[in-house]
Amino acid sequence: MLSPADIEALLLTFKVAIISTALMMLFGTPLAWWLARTHSAWKGLINAVVALPLVLPPTVLGFYLLVLMGPAGVIGEFTNWLGIGTLPFTFEGLVIASVLYSMPFVVQPLQAAFTTIGELPLEAAATLRAGPLDTFFSVVVPLAKPGFLTAAILGFTHTVGEFGVVLMIGGNIPGKTRVVSVQIYNHVEALQYSEAHLLAGVLLVFSFAVLLVLYTVLKTQPVAHQLK
């Protein structure tokens, strides 16, 4: 059976993933909308920055965050100035790192969905005197629903599976930063292979079930099509 420490790690992981996904949808939606509609010269640069975590090793991102969020780093000096202390080894720091790390998985499907909608429905809404916000919620959101679902589910599952970044900035604190991937790693390192198997199995079944729902029940296109 799963030990209390394993269950604690699972619950913590879902807590990080839920909060991170909510934040990514909140910030990712306007960003993806802007990227889908803009002709700005900055578009290429912003696209590249958002996509960076897809290609960077998580340990690189984690190491930069450890240094930047530390007391001598730019972010660390800022958070110290705000009076909230430094972010590594905290739950909040973990959420911020997860948001940065999983952002492309949210922005890219949304951006693809928004691009696919095209100009026509928006112009039609405008001729019916719908304001920009009204257009967004009454026209864009329903049309881009598969994109929103894909974004939320991929963002969530990617955060659940995150390891390298957490290892670098988490400090392995039970109940605070010891997420399930780190707990599995701990079991392997401590040669507790049966515990590692069990927890890894739980994660595998969960991730597979979520993706199965995404691709069969919701009939969403595999992500590769959306990322083009």
Partner 1 sequence: MLPNCLFRLIIVAWLILLAPTTWAAATLVAVAADFTKPMTEIAAAFEKTTGHTAKLSFGSSGKAFAQIKSGGPFEVYLSASEKYPLELEKSGYVVAGSRFVYAIGKLVLWSAKSDYVDDQGKILKTGGFKHIALADPAHAPYGVVAEEVMKSLGVLDKLRPLFVMGENISQTFQFVSTGNAELGFIAFAQVIDINTGKIGKGSGWIIPDNLHGPFNQTAVLLKKGAENPAALALVDFLKSPTALAIIEKYGFGLPK
Establish if 70 lies at the interface with partner 1 (CB under 8 A): yes
Say if CB 104 and CB 54 are below 8 A apart: yes
Minimal CA–CA distance to 109: which of 152, 159, 160? Answer: 152
Start-end of H helices in 89-192:
91-117, 120-127, 132-135, 141-143, 145-160, 164-170, 180-189
Max CA pair span of the chain: 67
185 binds partner 1 (CB under 8 A): yes
Q: Which of 19, 188, 198, 211 binds partner 1 (CB under 8 A)?
A: 188
143 C-beta neighbours (distance < 10 Å), count:
16
- Residue 47 lies near partner 1 (rule: CB under 8 A): no
Burial category of 84 from C-beta neighbours within 10 Å (exposed 0-12, middle 13-18, buried 19 and up): exposed
**Interface region with partner 1, contact rule CB under 8 A, candidates 86-94, 100-108, 130-138, 205-213:** 86-94
Of positions 74, 190, 213, 218, contacts partner 1 by CB under 8 A: 190
Q: In whole angstroms, how close is the CB of 164 to partner 1 at the nearest point?
A: 11
CA angle 207, 213, 217 (to 5 degrees): 170
- For residues 166 and 171, give the distance between their C-alpha atoms in angstroms, rounded to a whole number: 8
Contact 30, 203 (CB under 8 A): no
Task: Show the tokens assigned to 108.
Answer: 């890219």
Q: Residues 22, 52, 143, 173: which binds partner 1 (CB under 8 A)? A: 173
Q: Given candidates 3, 47, 172, 221, which one binds partner 1 under the rule CB under 8 A?
A: 172
With contacts defined by CB under 8 A, name the span among 26-34, 46-54, 63-71, 95-103 that binds partner 1: 63-71
Residue 13 CB, nearest approach to partner 1 (Å) = 18
Range in contact with partner 1 (rule: CB under 8 A) among 43-51, 67-75, 120-128, 211-219: 67-75
Q: Of these, 36, 50, 112, 167, which contacts partner 1 (CB under 8 A)?
A: 167
Residue 142 carries which side chain, given as an amino acid letter? P
How near is the Cβ of 186 to partner 1 at its closest, in Å?
6
Site string for partner 1, 102-141 (x = CB under 8 A): ----------------------------------------
